[in-house]
């Protein structure tokens, strides 16, 4: 199906905000909406023109807000619905856009729907979740909650044991308790999902990043049921909110785009080989130069073709579920990594703090279901004042402990240093915005991405513009066959590439963009 794409996505550069850890304005140790508002000028100055806010709805916070207890109310720790509406308005005043994080697959056990579904007598919410008929039968392939109510049956969970799975039906029901997508319960769940979207879009948000978008319909091997479900949502959006942007956490762009999403994330799990770049024993972007980019490129090309070469695969610097970029990539290689991230198709996503090289905080006790991810969720480091300017609360009341290193990076320090990572990221975003070929929809052709070798080279093109990008994170000079004769260097970090006799000689730890 053809999907109308909001024009602003063409040159969108997103900044992901984990609201708990971004900026606290009321001194309780937890970030809030007013904190985000107070830092919008910082985000805009960096060059980002869109933000994605992790879940900010009412929740008992067993999974950092991905366990929603009321989709229609902002979490009081962040502020009120009115504060959130004000945030949307402030974003728009700056000619920026904002996506909320929508979690359609499960709720918290605290949600009133789930509490009603626990009751033995049949009611409106009995079929809102995936229940078996008997306490002795568990849903195959899924965890479950059982023995906590008078109702007979086990309730499927999606992730943690306090996240019961909402019922959108089974594509191929094969047990008496498995409902089809057309049954009343699944249909009511889908209509309620549209109501939630309608509520927040009407309030002024510009769309949604959708959590686990590919997991809604169960027993759906080829995702046909889930694609059909999202096509149904797409029809509703086209009718009522045609400019609402939809970005999926799916990791299979051919499926998500068929379902009516505008963009899909390249995920750090599954077959993407994204981790080969940044987060493995020998990342491609390490100066040791022992990494391999070839499998990543092979898989990327496959997805690129499947999504009709539309360039709608978003590559994040990181997110709340991954190790910080700076845990495995250091020094100048962080700059080279951003030269790659900001010259690829699809909208780039910068995880808060990655632009200043914030580190993963080691050995933290899990906070709100973070476990190993907790070290990537520490509070933003703004300046040299108390708690790095994040909060006026006593240190022990901070949402997550901060990086205690004396040389921890701060935004203030990086802005003052013209050679900092912050300034390189800012420069790269500006270059991207000056060239259509480098933006979301520009085409890509890889011209050098060989197994266990360096560099990585590709051409981005749009209209009459062609730009060669050469990336060499390794600590040695490398060469590759290249018949391109550049006319102009648009951007370079390190020594520029020299082109002669059908070869390109690439300096150690360098990146360059060349118009030809």
Sequential DSSP letters for 51-109? EEEPP-EE---SSTTSS-SEEEEE-TTT--HHHHHHHHHHHHHTT-EEEEEE--SB--T
411 and 507 co-located in one domain: no
115 and 98 co-located in one domain: no
239 and 324 co-located in one domain: yes
Distance of alpha carbon 281 from alpha carbon 57, whole angstroms? 37
Q: Flag whether 179 is in a domain.
A: no
203 and 347 co-located in one domain: yes
373 and 461 co-located in one domain: no
For 382, counting Cβ atoms within 10 Å of its Cβ (0-12 exposed, 13-18 middle, 19+ buried), the class is buried
Can you give the pLDDT of all 516 residues of the chain as single tens digits? 456 789 999 999 999 999 999 999 999 999 999 999 999 999 999 999 999 999 999 999 999 999 999 999 999 999 999 999 999 999 999 999 999 999 999 999 999 999 999 999 999 999 999 999 999 999 988 999 999 999 999 999 999 999 999 999 999 999 999 999 999 999 999 999 999 999 999 999 999 999 999 999 999 999 999 999 999 999 999 999 999 999 999 999 889 999 999 999 888 777 889 999 999 999 999 999 999 999 999 999 999 998 888 767 999 999 999 999 999 999 999 999 999 999 999 999 999 999 999 999 999 999 999 999 999 999 999 999 999 999 999 999 999 999 999 999 999 999 999 999 999 999 999 999 999 999 999 999 999 999 999 999 999 999 999 999 999 999 999 999 999 999 999 999 999 899 999 999 999 999 999 999
**CA-CA-CA-CA torsion for 179, 181, 183, 184, nearest 10 degrees?**
120
Closest CA to 49 of 2, 95, 112, 6: 95
Among candidate residues 408, 432, 456, the one where a domain is terminated: 432
256 and 374 co-located in one domain: yes
Residue 461, domain CATH: 2.60.40.1180
Which of 38-55 are b and which e, b meaning 16 or more Cβ less than 10 Å from the residue's Cβ?
A: ebbebbbebbbbbbbbbb
Q: Flag whether 172 is in a domain.
A: no
In 153-223, alpha helices (H) = 184-203
Q: Residue 377 corresponds to which tokens in the numbers above?
A: 């969720």
Residue 302, domain CATH: 3.20.20.80
Which of 9-34 are b and which e, b meaning 16 or more Cβ less than 10 Å from the residue's Cβ?
A: bebbbbbbbbbbbbbbbeeebbbbbb
149 and 197 co-located in one domain: no
Q: Flag whether 437 is in a domain.
A: no
289 and 379 co-located in one domain: yes
392 and 497 co-located in one domain: no
Q: What are phi and psi of 502, to 5 degrees?
A: 75, 10
Among candidate residues 410, 432, 454, the one where a domain is terminated: 432
326 and 304 co-located in one domain: yes
Q: Flag whether 174 is in a domain.
A: no
Among candidate residues 387, 404, 432, the one where a domain is terminated: 432
Q: Flag whether 438 is in a domain.
A: no
Q: Please compute, for residue 346, the number of CA atoms within 13 A of its CA located in the half-sphere on the CB side.
A: 30
315 and 365 co-located in one domain: yes
CA 273 and chain centroid, separation: 16
Q: Are 492 and 469 in contact (CB under 8 A)?
A: no
Q: Flag whether 474 is in a domain.
A: yes
Distances (CA, A) of 119 to 136, 409, 457: 18, 52, 60
Q: Flag whether 181 is in a domain.
A: no
Give first-to-last CA distance, the chain, whole Å. 36
Q: Flag whether 29 is in a domain.
A: yes
Number of domains the chain is built from: 3
Q: What is the side-by-side order of every strand in the sheet holding 503-506?
A: 478-481, 503-506, 498-500
Domain containing residue 277: 7-104+186-432
130 and 84 co-located in one domain: no
């Amino acid at each position: 199906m053809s999907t109308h794409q909001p024009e602003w996505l063409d040159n969108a550069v997103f900044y992901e905000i984990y609201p708990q850890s971004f900026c606290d304005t009321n001194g309780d140790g937890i970030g809030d909406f007013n904190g985000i508002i107070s830092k919008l000028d910082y985000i805009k100055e960096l060059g980002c023109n869109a933000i994605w806010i992790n879940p900010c709805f009412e929740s008992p916070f067993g999974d950092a807000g991905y366990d929603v207890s009321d989709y229609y109310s902002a979490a009081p720790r962040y502020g009120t619905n009115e504060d959130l509406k004000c945030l949307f308005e402030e974003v728009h005043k700056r000619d920026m856009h904002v996506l909320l994080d929508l979690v359609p697959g499960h709720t918290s056990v605290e949600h009133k729907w789930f509490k009603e579904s626990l009751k033995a007598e049949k009611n409106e919410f009995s079929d809102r979740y995936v229940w078996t008929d008997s306490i002795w039968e568990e849903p195959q392939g899924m965890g479950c909650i059982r023995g906590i109510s008078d109702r007979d049956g086990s309730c499927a969970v999606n992730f943690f044991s306090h996240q019961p799975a909402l019922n959108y039906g089974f594509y191929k029901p094969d047990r008496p308790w498995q409902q089809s997508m057309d049954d009343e319960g699944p249909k009511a769940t889908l209509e309620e999902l549209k109501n939630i979207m309608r509520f927040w879009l009407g309030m002024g948000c510009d769309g949604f990043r959708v959590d686990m978008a590919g997991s809604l319909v169960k027993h759906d091997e080829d995702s046909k049921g889930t694609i059909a479900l999202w096509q149904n949502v797409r029809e509703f959006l086209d009718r009522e909110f045609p400019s609402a942007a939809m970005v999926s956490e799916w990791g299979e762009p051919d499926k998500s785009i068929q379902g009516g999403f505008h963009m899909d994330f390249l995920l750090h799990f599954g077959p993407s080989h994204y981790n080969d770049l940044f987060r493995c024993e020998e990342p491609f972007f390490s100066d040791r130069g022992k990494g391999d980019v070839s499998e990543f490129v092979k898989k990327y090309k496959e997805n690129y073709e499947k999504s009709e070469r539309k360039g709608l695969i978003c590559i994040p610097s990181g997110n709340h579920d991954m190790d910080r970029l700076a845990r495995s990539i250091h020094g100048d290689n962080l700059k080279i990594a951003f030269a790659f991230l900001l010259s690829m198709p699809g909208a780039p996503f910068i995880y808060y703090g990655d632009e200043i090289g914030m580190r993963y905080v080691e050995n933290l006790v899990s906070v709100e279901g973070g476990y190993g991810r907790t070290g990537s969720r520490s509070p933003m480091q703004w300046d040299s004042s108390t708690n790095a300017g994040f909060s006026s609360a006593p240190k022990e009341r901070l949402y997550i402990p901060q990086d205690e290193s004396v040389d921890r990076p701060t935004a203030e320090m990086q802005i003052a240093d013209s050679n900092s990572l912050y300034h390189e990221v800012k420069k790269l975003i500006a270059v991207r915005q000056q060239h259509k070929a480098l933006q979301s929809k520009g085409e890509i052709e890889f011209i050098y991405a060989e197994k266990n070798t360096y560099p990585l080279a590709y051409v981005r093109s749009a209209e009459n513009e062609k730009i060669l990008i050469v990336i060499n994170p390794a600590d040695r000079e490398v060469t590759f066959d290249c018949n391109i004769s550049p006319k102009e260097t648009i951007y370079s970090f390190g020594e520029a590439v020299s082109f002669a006799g059908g070869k390109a000689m690439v300096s150690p730890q360098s990146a360059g963009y060349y118009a030809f």
